[in-house]
Structures are given as structure tokens and as C-alpha cells.
């Protein structure tokens, strides 16, 4: 009976010829990649690495302060030793079958790294997990409580310590991740061979820079299975195309709705799929919807400024909508950076006595940058000067660089999970429309981005009356008297809700502030049919003085903020008119939606 079993085992082994062929292919590609990299470095001239981000200096300052207080350092070390002693005792008792009780260290409930059951069930993997969590906690606690360190250095130390800790998680290594270990044994290491191929592919496609592939980009096509809401491009400038969507109701609100997306991303985050498309939902609610589709700029647009985005973007869009529909007033909504631009536009129009925008809606929008959250780690004089040097050499900021920054804010979800899946498990990334959009990055003109970083993030001049000028008009947010609606999200890492709340209080008109659940994307793209997250409102006649006071007096509601916003907007604009077909407007249709600007992708 032994012979058939041996034959079965033998048949499960990989074909030696195939293994040799795979190894040869990997070796050949790796050799070529290394040779190409060396050639590039030789041409550039090899220079010592520079500390452009100021990371090394921040950690040197931290170590100096830490070593100046040896008692606290010794206390931290003793606490670490005590926790490791407790873990050893826990593990010995568990191994001997005596029952160990509660673990010494446990991951957060939303920590997906340790979801495999063997992290809990297997003695060795549980020991490695707890050992890592203990070390991670003590390292972070020690460096985050150093006395005498300046605020910016402390932020850098905290942030980059977290990056270091996340990188060293046992889940990120083949021999210490139970799921990878099982797959390696099962496939006789083929997962690692395929993973190395995936790694080399990503480096090759990144032109020598590793760009971790998050999704199967070949599975999506704009206008086919994403950005599918029917519409037409009815106007364009060097800066943008303006889309008008085909109505789905016999009559519509009298005021058209203009949506201003951020130019750091493409607009179709609001039109991913039919069931979660904010754009389609607005059309179905009886709005004449217009959306700006920003250009993906190259070096030819290097001199385009923040003024250009306002004059040739939002203002040009308002002019076009009024001409196309004959409406004298419109509603406008801006998302993130698009909301910052919309706020600037409203203040500019107030200065010009232009009342064509009758209400403003702001999705996760900052106009007060005093507390920018973790993005502030990347914004100081040294880092901005270094970034400006790179931008002005080529005329723009490459979108992938900014995307990398955002990924670092949630490294475990947006970096390391894909490292494990693609390079250790040897799997291809799953087709996911949100991650396809996330990888479809957009450049930014050098002059505009420099102005934005320095005047808004660093100097925080937008909140100051007359702090900045656009087209000779001093910008004063307090002159915005139209009704405004702010929706922010409680878990937002990019535009922290308490910062957006501070900015909302600078507006001069009636402001409704709503706090949604979840984060920067999921909390906004939250259709009523999903019945998720909920939102908070405060019924006080005026916005409370602080965000904490707002939340203390807030009432939580189930479902989506979309319905609350729709009710608010109808209160401003209840009158109906016959539906407006983009083909029958006064402007000439240039092409079908989603247009050509949104389809432009930078070469790898």
C-alpha cells in the first residue's frame, strides 16, 4: 500500500524543469534590474544620502533628550523586562497545559495583521505576536514622552517610529507569518518565487522605483465599469473639462449643482459604481449635476497657479453653467482640496459682489490649517524647500509621490497588507475599483502646489482676513454669507474633523456642520442604501465654540448623511423646472463623459 502513497506525494512535487525555468527567469530579471539601477546611479553621480526630511536630526535630538534622563530610560527598560517576564510566564503555563489566562498583549480589534486563527491558537505564533506587541508599545511610549523636544521633531519621531514598528511586524516575514508559512509548505515555495516575480515586475513598471501594486488595473475601464453615469463634456479650458450629466427625472431643482473635486485625485471617486455613485444619486434626486474634471498637468502647465485653478476652473465653470442652463444661481459642493478652492472662490465672489453661487457644501474640507494632523509631519521649511527644488526642475509634483505620502498614513492597510499578499503569498492583487482610483494619481503644477503649501499649510493665511489675494481680491472667509453645509468624518487622517470644524466657524453665513462616521473616503461615499456609519448633528442655533462642545451636544443618527444634506439643500432650493438635457443646452457638446482629461495617465 506504500507505493501509491509515494506516487501521490511525488506527483504533488513541482516539475523540476519548471522550477529551474522560474529561477532562471527571476535571476535574469533581477540581474538586469540591478545592472540598470547601477547604470542610472553612475550617470547621476553617486552622492551621500541627504536628510531632506529631517528624520535623522529629529531622532538625534530625541536621543539626546532621552539620554539626558537616565532614570526615565532605566524605568522604561525595567517595564519592558517585566512585561517580557510576564509573557514568558504566560507562555510556559500555556505550553504546560496549566491555563494561561488573559494575554499580556493583545492587538486592537481592527488590526487585520493578526486575523489568522493560528496567531491565537498556536503557541509559537502567539508568543511572537505578543512579544512584538510588547516591544512596539514600549518603543513608542518611550520616544513619545521625551521631555524638551520641540513639537515638529516630536511629530516626526512619533510618525517614523510607527513606520519602523509597522515594518518589523512578524506578519511581514515569511517564516513568522502562519498564513505565509502554510502556503510556502503547501506550494513548496512557489508562492515566494511568484512573489519575487511580482516584486521585480512592480520595480520594473515603476521605472526602478518600487510601486506596490494594489489592484488589477486591467480590470477597469473608465466609462465602461467605473465613471459610468451618462453625461457629456460641454466646456473645457486648459485646467479642466466640465461634465453635465443626463437627467433621470422629468423635472429638476431650479439651481444646478456644481461639484468641485480635488485636483490631487480624479473626480470619479464620486462615480465608482452605480450603487455607490454620489453623482448618480444626485441626478436621481432631481439635480442638474455638473462636475469639474481637472487636467493631469505636465511641464507645460508648470506656471499655472492657484489663481489659475480659480479663474480657469471654478469661475469658468460657473460662467459655463449659467450660460448652458440660463440659471441665475447655482449650488456648489467641494471635496477636500476642491472644497478649499470652493471656499476661496466664494470669498473671491463675495469681494466682487458676485452672488451666482447661492449655497456651498464642503466635504472634509480644511480652511484652517493650524492642526493639519499627521500630514503636518511632511510640511516644514526644509521639506517644502526640498520638494520645491524637485518640482521646479520638472515643472510639477508627480502624483505617485503624494500617493505614497498618503499610504504612509495607513501603512498596515495600504502598504504592508499588499507586500504580504503580492510578495509573500505570491498572489495577484484583487480587482477593486476604489484601489484602482487610488492608483490613478494626478500631478500638480509646481507653482500652484508651492503656493498652497506655503500660504495655507505653513502660514495658515486662508483663515486670516486678507491673508491671501486672488486676482487682486483680498480673500476673507467671513464675507461668505451664503448658507453652507460642512460634512466631515470622525476617523479622517487627511482632514481631521476638529480642524475642519475650526475652519467652518470662520464663515460669515449660516453654517450646518455634520460629523459622519468612518474616514476620508468611506465616510463620504456612503450611500443611504448601505445604511452604514451614521452621523452626528448639533441642534444649537450657532456652532458651539469648540469641536468638543459640538460633539458633547450632538445627536447621532443612523444611515447616511446624504439624506440630511438633500433635505438641507431642498430647504434652500425647493423650486422645480423641466429637466435639462446637456445635448439641448446652449453650449456645444465636446465629447461623451467621462471625457478625455480624466483618462490621461502619466507614463510609468
**DSSP string across 563-591:** HHHHHHHHHH---EEE---GGGSSSPP-E
Number of neighbouring beta carbons within 10 Å of residue 257: 25
The lowest-confidence range among 237-251, 409-423, 461-475 is 409-423
Left (φ > 0), alpha (ψ -120 to 50) or beta: where does 531 sit? left
Question: What pLDDT sits at residue 2?
Answer: 42
Q: In the chain, what is the straight-line distance between the N-terminal and C-terminal CA atoms, in Å?
A: 57
Do 398 and 603 meet the contact criterion of CB atoms below 8 Å apart?
no
User: What is the gyration radius of the CA atoms in the chain, in angstroms?
Assistant: 27
Cα distance between residue 501 and residue 487, in whole Å: 9
What structural domains does the chain harbor? 55-171 (no CATH), 231-468+480-548+594-599 (3.40.50.1820)
Pairing of strands 535-537, 511-516: antiparallel
Chain centre distance of CA 94? 42
Question: What pLDDT sits at residue 3?
Answer: 44
Pairing of strands 555-557, 257-260: unpaired
Please tell me the number of Cα atoms within 13 Å of 578 on its side-chain side: 5
What value does the mean pLDDT take over residues 233-237?
98
Cα distance between residue 481 and residue 451, in whole Å: 26
Cα distance between residue 160 and residue 493, in whole Å: 16
The lowest-confidence range among 122-136, 221-235, 400-414, 418-432 is 400-414
Number of neighbouring beta carbons within 10 Å of residue 524: 23
Do 408 and 161 meet the contact criterion of CB atoms below 8 Å apart?
no
The per-residue b/e assignment along 562-591, b for 16 or more CB within 10 angstroms, e otherwise, is bebbbebbeebbeeebebbebeebebebee
Nine cell digits for residue 165 = 514598528
Is the pLDDT at 31 greater than 80? The verdict is no
Chain centre distance of CA 321? 30
Do 267 and 294 meet the contact criterion of CB atoms below 8 Å apart?
yes
Cα distance between residue 289 and residue 244, in whole Å: 6
Task: Name 232's bridge partners.
Answer: 244, 592
Q: What is the DSSP letter of 521?
A: T
Cα distance between residue 187 and residue 21, in whole Å: 16
Cα distance between residue 94 and residue 391, in whole Å: 57
- pLDDT, tens digit (0-9, with 9 covering 90-100), for 560-596: 999 999 999 999 889 999 999 999 999 999 999 999 9
pTM summary value: 0.87
- What is the pLDDT of the chain when averaged over all its residues? 90
What value does the mean pLDDT take over residues 355-359?
98
Q: What is the DSSP letter of 524?
A: T
The per-residue b/e assignment along 225-255, b for 16 or more CB within 10 angstroms, e otherwise, is ebbbbebbbbbbeebbbbbbbbbeeeebbbb
Task: Name 242's bridge partners.
Answer: 235, 292
What value does the mean pLDDT take over residues 399-419?
84
CA quadruple 195, 201, 202, 208: dihedral sign: positive
Cα distance between residue 184 and residue 53, in whole Å: 38
- Find the Cα–Cα–Cα–Cα dihedral 139, 142, 148, 150, rounded to 10°: 30
Question: What pLDDT sits at residue 6?
Answer: 41
Chain centre distance of CA 311? 27
Q: Which residues are catalytic?
A: 336
What value does the mean pLDDT take over residues 436-444?
89
Q: What is the DSSP letter of 545?
A: S
Is the pLDDT at 34 greater than 80? The verdict is no
Do 517 and 551 meet the contact criterion of CB atoms below 8 Å apart?
no
Question: What pLDDT sits at residue 323?
Answer: 98
CA angle (374 as vertex; 604, 449 as ends), nearest 5: 50
Question: What pLDDT sits at residue 4?
Answer: 43
Please tell me the number of Cα atoms within 13 Å of 3 on its side-chain side: 0
Question: What pLDDT sits at residue 602?
Answer: 61
Cα distance between residue 437 and residue 416, in whole Å: 19
- Find the Cα–Cα–Cα–Cα dihedral 134, 138, 141, 144, rounded to 10°: -120
The per-residue b/e assignment along 353-369, b for 16 or more CB within 10 angstroms, e otherwise, is eeebbbbbbbbbbbbbb
Is the pLDDT at 417 greater than 50? The verdict is yes
Write out the H or E segment, with its range, that includes residue 83.
helix 70-95
Greatest mean pLDDT among 27-36, 158-167, 186-195, 314-323: 314-323
Amino acid at each position: 500500500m506504500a507505493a501509491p502513497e509515494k506516487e501521490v506525494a511525488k506527483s504533488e512535487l513541482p516539475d523540476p524543469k519548471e522550477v529551474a525555468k522560474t529561477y532562471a527567469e527571476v535571476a535574469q530579471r533581477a540581474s538586469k534590474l540591478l545592472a540598470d539601477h547601477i547604470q542610472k546611479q553612475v550617470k547621476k553621480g553617486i552622492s551621500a544620502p541627504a536628510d531632506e526630511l529631517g528624520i535623522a536630526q529629529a531622532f538625534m535630538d530625541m536621543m539626546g533628550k532621552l539620554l539626558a534622563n537616565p532614570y526615565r530610560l532605566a524605568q522604561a527598560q525595567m517595564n519592558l523586562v517585566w512585561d517580557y517576564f510576564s509573557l514568558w510566564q504566560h507562555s510556559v503555563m500555556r505550553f504546560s497545559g496549566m491555563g494561561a489566562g488573559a494575554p499580556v498583549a493583545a492587538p486592537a480589534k481592527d488590526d487585520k495583521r493578526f486575523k489568522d486563527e493560528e496567531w491565537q491558537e498556536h503557541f509559537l505564533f502567539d508568543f511572537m505576536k505578543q512579544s512584538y506587541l510588547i516591544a512596539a508599545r514600549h518603543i513608542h511610549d518611550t520616544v513619545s514622552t521625551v521631555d524638551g523636544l520641540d513639537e515638529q521633531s516630536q511629530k516626526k519621531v512619533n510618525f517614523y517610529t510607527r513606520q519602523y514598528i509597522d515594518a518589523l511586524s512578524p506578519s511581514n516575514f515569511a517564516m513568522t507569518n502562519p498564513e505565509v508559512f502554510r502556503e510556502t509548505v503547501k506550494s513548496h515555495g512557489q508562492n515566494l518565487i511568484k512573489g519575487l516575480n511580482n516584486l521585480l515586475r512592480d520595480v520594473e513598471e515603476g521605472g526602478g522605483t518600487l510601486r506596490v501594486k494594489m489592484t488589477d488595473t486591467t480590470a477597469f475601464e473608465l466609462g465602461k465599469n467605473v465613471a459610468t453615469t451618462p453625461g457629456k463634456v460641454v466646456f473645457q479650458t486648459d485646467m479642466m473639462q466640465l461634465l453635465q450629466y443626463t437627467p433621470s427625472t422629468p423635472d429638476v431643482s431650479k439651481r444646478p449643482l456644481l461639484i468641485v473635486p480635488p485636483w490631487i485625485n480624479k473626480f470619479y471617486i464620486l462615480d465608482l459604481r452605480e450603487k455607490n455613485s454620489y453623482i448618480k444619486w444626485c441626478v436621481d434626486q432631481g439635480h442638474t449635476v455638473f462636475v469639474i474634471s481637472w487636467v493631469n498637468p505636465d511641464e507645460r502647465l508648470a506656471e499655472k497657479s492657484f489663481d489659475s485653478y480659480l479663474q480657469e476652473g471654478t469661475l469658468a465653470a460657473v460662467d459655463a453653467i449659467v450660460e448652458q442652463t440660463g440659471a441665475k444661481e447655482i449650488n456648489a459642493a467641494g471635496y477636500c482640496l476642491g472644497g478649499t478652492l470652493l471656499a476661496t472662490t466664494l470669498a473671491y465672489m463675495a469681494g466682487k459682489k458676485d452672488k451666482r453661487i447661492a449655497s456651498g457644501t464642503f466635504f472634509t474640507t480644511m480652511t484652517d490649517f493650524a492642526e493639519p494632523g499627521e500630514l503636518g509631519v511632511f510640511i516644514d521649511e526644509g521639506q517644502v524647500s526640498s520638494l520645491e527644488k524637485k518640482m521646479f526642475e520638472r515643472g510639477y509634483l508627480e502624483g505617485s509621490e503624494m500617493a505614497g505620502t498618503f499610504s504612509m498614513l495607513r501603512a498596515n492597510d495600504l502598504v504592508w497588507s499588499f507586500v504580504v499578499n503580492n510578495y509573500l503569498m505570491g498572489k495577484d492583487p484583487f480587482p477593486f475599483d476604489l484601489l484602482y482610483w487610488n492608483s490613478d494619481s494626478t500631478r500638480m503644477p509646481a507653482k500652484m502646489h508651492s503656493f498652497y503649501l506655503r500660504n495655507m499649510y505653513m502660514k495658515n493665511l486662508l483663515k486670516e482676513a486678507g491673508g491671501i489675494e486672488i486676482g487682486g481680491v483680498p480673500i476673507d472667509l467671513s464675507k461668505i454669507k451664503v448658507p453652507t453645509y460642512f460634512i466631515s468624518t470622525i476617523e479622517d487622517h487627511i482632514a481631521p474633523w476638529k480642524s475642519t470644524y475650526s475652519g467652518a466657524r470662520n464663515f460669515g453665513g449660516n453654517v450646518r456642520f455634520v460629523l459622519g462616521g468612518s474616514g476620508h473616503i468611506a465616510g463620504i461615499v456612503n450611500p443611504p442604501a448601505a445604511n452604514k456609519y451614521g452621523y452626528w448633528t448639533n441642534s444649537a442655533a450657532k456652532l458651539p465654540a469648540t469641536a468638543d462642545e459640538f460633539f458633547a451636544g450632538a445627536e447621532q443618527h443612523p444611515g447616511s448623511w446624504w439624506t440630511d444634506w438633500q433635505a438641507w439643500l431642498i430647504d434652500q432650493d425647493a423650486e422645480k423646472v423641466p429637466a435639462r438635457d446637456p445635448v439641448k443646452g446652449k453650449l456645444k457638446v465636446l465629447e461623451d463623459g467621462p471625457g478625455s482629461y480624466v483618462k490621461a495617465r502619466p507614463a510609468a
